[in-house]
Amino acid sequence: MPSPSQEFNVFHGTVIHSLSPSDLEINENTVVIVNVATGKIVLMERKVDNLNEFLSGLGFLENKQYNVNVLKKDQFILPGFIDTHALIYRLPQHAPQFSYAATGMDLPLLDWLDTYTFPKEAEYAESEHAQNVYSKVVDRFLSCGTTTCSWFATIHLEASKILTDVIEEKGQRAYIGKVNMDQNSPDYYIEKTESSVQDTRTFIEYVQAKNNDLLTPIITPRFAISCTSPLLQALGDLAKEYQVPIQSHLCENVAEIEFTQSLFPNSVNYTAVYDDHGLLNDKTIMAHCVHMTEDELKLIKEREAGVSHCPNSNFNLQSGVADIRHYLDLDIKCSLGTDVAGGFATSILDAMRSAFTASNTVGILRSQYGNCSAKPYKALDAKELIYLATLGGAKVVGMEDKIGNFKVGKDFDALVVDASDDGPVRLFRHDGPWETLQKFLFTGDERCLSHVYVKGRRVAGWKQSDGADRAESLCRFCDCDMVAIIAALAATLYITGTIVWSLAFFSTFDDRFIQSLPRYKLVTEPVTSAFAENPFHIMVIKLVFIVLTKVFGGFRYSLAHLAYYIDILNTIAAFAVFWEQIQSKPYYEKELATRFANDNTGVPDITSLRQIKRLLHPVLKNDGIIIHPHITYATREEALDAIKQTNDYNQPRKMMLDVYTAVEKPPGLRPVLIHIHGGAWRMGSKNHLYPYENDLITEEKWIVVNIAYRLAPINAYPTHLKDVKRAIRWVKQCINNFGGDPNFIVLAGDSAGGHLAMMAAMTANQSQYQEGFEDVDTSVRGVVTFNGALRIHHDMFFAKKVAMMNEPINRAFLLDHSPVTYCEKAYQQGSLVPSLILMYHACTKSKLFTSMWPEDNVTPLSTQTAVENLPSSIDERVERRMNPRLRALSLRFRVVIMYSTLDGVLVRFLPTASFYHGAETSITRTILVWDSLLSDAKRESYRVVL
């Protein structure tokens, strides 16, 4: 039982492993616990339905020292693959041969060695080349799930050391052998007997000195043909001296067997050659073993040596077909090898499939050419293939007490197999764990391996997180399945988002419906406000919800499906609106042009469709505009203080402004518009000329000033407001140099910029926001805002992320910085405030204003004033000509205009206006037309400045 003070990885799901060639355990709802420090399996418990309850008994919830990995239905855990003649998956049996895998398949073994193998292996005398290739090779093997591999290197000592270092770095478990060859080899690739023995001894000591239990040196005579008898004997002595394993080739090819017998006539057969030199024992791995006599098989059995079956290579090099069924019946230890480049694939999965084909081939040949009365041949099945790739391989390499399955006490060498639809495997509702395993075996590849572990450490796998699934690799603190929790949460977010999206969409044509909802102000108002201000952002968030719901399985819930279909309808409706807007634009523009021409409004030259198009679609171009960029409005002392407070030398860059003027300068001073950008007080910049500013400059010859200000979280509010005041100070003192009138300043802003514009206007000349320039007049003539923040005294985002407050929240401070506070005081006291044009989404703010100033108690403006005519310019005649769906779904805005007069404050709610072409165009029309229609006398009497 694990100690509660240690750290463990917990896996819960389907666990599959072999106990024998015919006994494959498939355990569902099984818990495997791995000690992180030792990498060993400390507990395996089957049939655990309630993981949380089970872990509670181990002290998990109290100590929180377990990393829980919950597998999904189409995931399972297998023991790591073992490649006994190379690595697993797509790695060469001989590491150097990786670079020429899948070439020369038309040649038999001995010709293939002379043509391809020996010339390529000779290149590994260059250390840089060896480092490059070996790194790729080991990565490839691990990605294919080969956790243990028996490597053939080359005859080069340094290259073999490099391979060892690479394997150690990558974390693979491996047998590593420096190849020995002192005869029947090309002159450029051969050793002397003495140097071969000495280099082998040096290599063994090099590997053992690392004291890494994952790395084992292995004696590696290439095969008997390439080694003299003295070399074989010396290698046998080294194996006995250092107690290390042995690997080589045996009976792969008929010509090879005949050549070997001619070289060693004193040995009774090929297998006996190794036995006669002390190279055949229970630590020996013999690759291929295709053409074995019964006497040789008997000797292999007596010495307890192991066989590495390499069917892919055997087929490709025309070597033959090994009868592994017969070997297993004789109780000979058998395993699988990829033998690249003889084999063209580096994956043990391919070796299993080739072994299946080879076994069936043996059965076919026997049925056609053998004794028909003999017992029917049984080909290898899936259970035996899994055994050969895992526990069988562990027995061949002498590590069945460490790896091969998930018995308690063994190292956790494992693969997390993900057979979901994202990979090559296709599952259906009727597929259980056994069917999933078979489909992975015959159709899967490395794309199915999300995680590969060696001794408890993750060494490969395509998933980024360290859990069995990115959604489930979290500790659980309730009895529910974490998958279900996250799926339900994702579905809830998506359903909620769809409802809000639908409400916001409907609110564009029916305020009463939205305002009748319970708790409208707390829930619907902020979201519909965001919809009006940033519809693109809302659509992006909605898309994120869809992705989350899909990834975490939230569509398993019927409500999520319903939300999805509603969402489709919303999207179709939105596109229909855009299309109808395009279709109805000629009617809209023509009617508006006609109305301006016929209503005697006094607007000069507004008599053509072309003129109206300019108003509705101001082209953003800088022709006729001069820009004076990056002017610092802060004093030297203020800039230094900004650096001192934040230790950030970039802060003075936030205290700059750009001045835009017309190329053609009219006589006299021109009105000044100061635009304050939005961005939730935390982002945004001044480097953008809005379309309505473009028109003001080029057509009306206004001076436009775009300002930047310091942002949260580096600077806490009211630093933002103070910077706006500093910018106003600069404009008052310097704008006349650019042809601007310091006594005719209008502030404009959107969102957070609208809030700052209103606050700057309403707190004019208040000393607490003008430190160091208290005597400067910072009053302005008016404010135009779009979706400006009026109420922030209940806004926790503003309090914590902008004002940077800690609990308890200073409500009085928030109230003082809500523009609505000053509006209420002005209305109640009859005091003067700057003239305001506040534009909002119709449903968003209407209830806010009606609760502040009852609409029936507001003194009406004269019906002769242009501001009453402007929003009504799209009358019923236009709407009747437009498609009803467009009339119903188009965005609408409520315009609130507030005046200070000599008699007090007048507030007027204008009829809901449909602005089909965007808020910025609406602001342009408001400023231009209002300014043209109101006489100087009316401006003075109403204190209206535009």
CATH number for the domain harbouring residue 686: 3.40.50
The answer to whether residue 238 is domain-embedded is: yes
* High-pLDDT (> 70) share of the chain, %: 66
Distance, CA of 792 to CA of 268 (rounded, Å) = 97
The answer to whether residue 838 is domain-embedded is: yes
The answer to whether residue 891 is domain-embedded is: no
The answer to whether residue 541 is domain-embedded is: yes
Rounded mean pLDDT of 664-688? 86
* High-pLDDT (> 90) share of the chain, %: 40
Strands 41-45 and 23-35 turn out to be antiparallel
Is the whole model's pTM more than 0.85, yes or no?
no
Among 559, 578, 597, the domain boundary falls at 578
Tell me what pLDDT residue 3 has: 55
- Specify the higher pLDDT residue, 767 or 79: 79
Residues 132, 195 within the same domain: yes
Q: What is the 3-state secondary structure (H, E, C) of 675-742?
A: EECCCCCCCCCCCCCCHHHHHHHHCCCCEEEEECCCCCCCCCCCHHHHHHHHHHHHHHHHHHHHCEEE
Tell me what pLDDT residue 366 has: 84
Residues 359, 417 within the same domain: no
Residues 451, 533 within the same domain: no
Burial class (CB in 10 A: 0-12, 13-18, 19+), 88: buried
Residues 389, 322 within the same domain: yes
Residues 385, 431 within the same domain: no
> Is the pLDDT confidence value at 242 over 90?
yes
β-bridge mates for residue 253, sequence order: none
Weakest-pLDDT range from 16-20, 484-488, 628-632:
484-488
Helices (H), 333-445: 348-369, 382-389, 391-396, 433-443
β-bridge mates for residue 603, sequence order: none
Residues 422, 381 within the same domain: no
> Is the pLDDT confidence value at 712 over 80?
yes
**Tokens linked to 574:** 């939105």
Burial class (CB in 10 A: 0-12, 13-18, 19+), 741: middle
Picking from 887, 763, 777, the residue whose alpha carbon sits closest to that of residue 817 is 763
Q: How confident is the model at residue 899 (pLDDT cuts 50, 70, 90)?
A: very low
Tell me what pLDDT residue 915 has: 32
> What are the φ/ψ torsions at residue 51 (nearest 5 degrees)?
-65, -40
**Highest mean pLDDT range out of 404-413, 576-585, 811-820?**
404-413
Task: Please check whether residue 275 is in contact with residue 299, taking contact to mean a CB–CB distance below 8 angstroms.
Answer: yes
Residues 521, 535 within the same domain: yes
Q: What is the 3-state secondary structure (H, E, C) of 287-329?
A: EECCCCCHHHHHHHHHHCCEEEECHHHHHHCCCCCCCHHHHHH
Longest CA–CA span in the chain (Å) reads: 127
The answer to whether residue 642 is domain-embedded is: yes
Q: What is the CATH number of the domain that holds 201?
A: 3.20.20.140
Among 544, 578, 612, the domain boundary falls at 578
Distance, CA of 576 to CA of 742 (rounded, Å) = 47
> Is the pLDDT confidence value at 922 over 60?
no
Task: Please check whether residue 144 is in contact with residue 343, taking contact to mean a CB–CB distance below 8 angstroms.
Answer: no
Tell me what pLDDT residue 283 has: 97
Tell me what pLDDT residue 659 has: 92
> Is the pLDDT confidence value at 78 over 90?
yes
Question: Whole domain around residue 46: which residue ranges?
Answer: 8-80+405-460
Burial letters for 256-266: b for 16+ Cβ neighbours within 10 Å, e otherwise?
A: bbebbbebbee
Interior angle at CA 626, CA 624 and CA 630, nearest 5: 155
Tell me what pLDDT residue 277 has: 96
Rounded mean pLDDT of 626-645? 88
Q: How confident is the model at residue 806 (pLDDT cuts 50, 70, 90)?
A: confident
> Is the pLDDT confidence value at 893 over 50?
no
The answer to whether residue 503 is domain-embedded is: yes
Give the model confidence (pLDDT) of 821-848 as tens digits.
Answer: 776 676 565 555 566 666 654 333 333 3
What average pLDDT does the chain have? Answer: 75
Burial letters for 382-416: b for 16+ Cβ neighbours within 10 Å, e otherwise?
A: ebbbbbbbbbbbbbbbbbbebbbbbeeebbbbbbb
Rounded mean pLDDT of 115-130? 63
Residues 544, 413 within the same domain: no
Give the model confidence (pLDDT) of 31-64 as tens digits.
Answer: 999 999 999 999 999 999 888 888 888 875 566 5
Residues 572, 713 within the same domain: no
> Is the pLDDT confidence value at 943 over 60?
no
> Is the pLDDT confidence value at 907 over 70?
no
Task: Please check whether residue 411 is in contact with residue 80, taking contact to mean a CB–CB distance below 8 angstroms.
Answer: no
Task: Please check whether residue 710 is in contact with residue 677, taking contact to mean a CB–CB distance below 8 angstroms.
Answer: no
> Is the pLDDT confidence value at 299 over 80?
yes
The answer to whether residue 687 is domain-embedded is: yes
- Specify the higher pLDDT residue, 509 or 864: 509
Residues 409, 388 within the same domain: no
Choosing from 143, 751, 818, 835, the catalytic residue is 751
Q: What is the CATH number of the domain that holds 428?
A: 2.30.40.10
- Specify the higher pLDDT residue, 533 or 806: 806
Q: What is the 3-state secondary structure (H, E, C) of 801-813?
A: HHCCCCCCCCHHH
- Specify the higher pLDDT residue, 152 or 580: 152
Rounded mean pLDDT of 560-588? 63
The answer to whether residue 50 is domain-embedded is: yes
> Is the pLDDT confidence value at 456 over 90?
yes
**Tokens linked to 138:** 């080991």
Residues 363, 425 within the same domain: no
Tell me what pLDDT residue 116 has: 56
Weakest-pLDDT range from 363-367, 541-545, 612-616, 864-868:
864-868
> Is the pLDDT confidence value at 732 over 90?
yes
Tell me what pLDDT residue 808 has: 81
Annotated active-site residue 914? The verdict is: no
Distance, CA of 10 to CA of 492 (rounded, Å) = 29
Rounded mean pLDDT of 748-772? 89
> Is the pLDDT confidence value at 851 over 50?
no
Tell me what pLDDT residue 543 has: 74
Tell me what pLDDT residue 820 has: 75
Picking from 810, 814, 824, 811, the residue whose alpha carbon sits closest to that of residue 792 is 814
Tell me what pLDDT residue 796 has: 77
Among 540, 555, 578, the domain boundary falls at 578
Residues 88, 66 within the same domain: no
Rounded mean pLDDT of 654-679? 88
| Cα end-to-end span (Å), the chain | 81
For the chain, how many structural domains are there in total?
Answer: 4
Tell me what pLDDT residue 663 has: 84
**Highest mean pLDDT range out of 174-178, 422-426, 859-863?**
174-178
